[in-house]
Amino acid sequence: MKYSEGFSGSKPKLGTGFYIVIACCLLIIGGASWFALSKYADEGTVPQNTENSEYTDKTPSYTESVKDEAPNSTESTPAEDVAESVTDQPYSSEKETTEAKPQSNTFTMPVEGEIIKEHSTDRLQYSATYGDMRLHNGIDIACNEGTAVSACADGTVLSVATDAVLGNVVVIDHGNGITVKYASLNDVEVKQGGKVKLGDIIGTVGTVPEECSDKSHLHLEVLKNDVSVEPLKALGLE
């Protein structure tokens, strides 16, 4: 047998059945695709990537995050709290405004001079004017007539009056139960109800009617809660 007789130079021809099989496969694939698309179209959904869909469901939107983190407008801020705690009112203590502090004064002598007659409520002293022995409710401070008399401490003038025994008398309340009588004054410069400060001039030295025979002096009496006491001791001037 010759080579040319076993293998011809032309390609083998495909049968009609082969093409029929190919056509059937294409029809099956096309029909399946059309069925799937028509199903999604009827349900109104579009298939999504599974991974992207899961991430989207789990991640909150920016709007929701901001809404959750925004401060409640009804709560006060630190700045508002500070503003509420600061006021323009000056500091004041309720205890200081409701309780009166006891007056505390530093006393000084109303005039400078020698004590020529001491205070005595339990022993008699000689009176040159009457020529007898008498009690003496104050002290006599020797000084020239016309000498300026100053207030022993801060206080309030209780009375200004003329007395037949002591002459012109100024009575001043110096607080803490201390009342001082400045007797035998001339040129009185204070009035009842007036306020005086330590060292204010209240008058000048005059004459004491019942002690006119004694050396010129200022007669000074001190009462503690309306009781006659030793002036220097009561005023802390010993």
Q: Going from the N-terminus, what domains does the chain have, and what CATH number goes with each?
A: 15-66 (no CATH), 115-234 (2.70.70.10)
Residue 41: which pLDDT band, with cuts at 50, 70 and 90? low
124-138, 183-197, 203-217: range with lowest mean pLDDT: 124-138
Q: Which token pair is 238?
A: 């010993």
| 117 vs 128: CA distance, rounded Å | 12
Output the average pLDDT for the chain: 75
């009575």: which residue's tokens? 171
Bridging pattern class, strands 178-183 and 115-117: unpaired
pLDDT at 35: 66
**234: enclosing H helix or E strand:** helix 231-234
28-42, 63-77, 207-221: range with lowest mean pLDDT: 63-77
The burial of 106, by beta-carbon neighbours within 10 Å (0-12 exposed, 13-18 middle, 19 or more buried), is given as exposed
5-20 per-position pLDDT tens digit:
444 445 555 567 777 7
pTM exceeding the 0.85 threshold for the entire prediction: no
Amino acid at 64: E
Local structure of 155: helix, strand or coil: strand
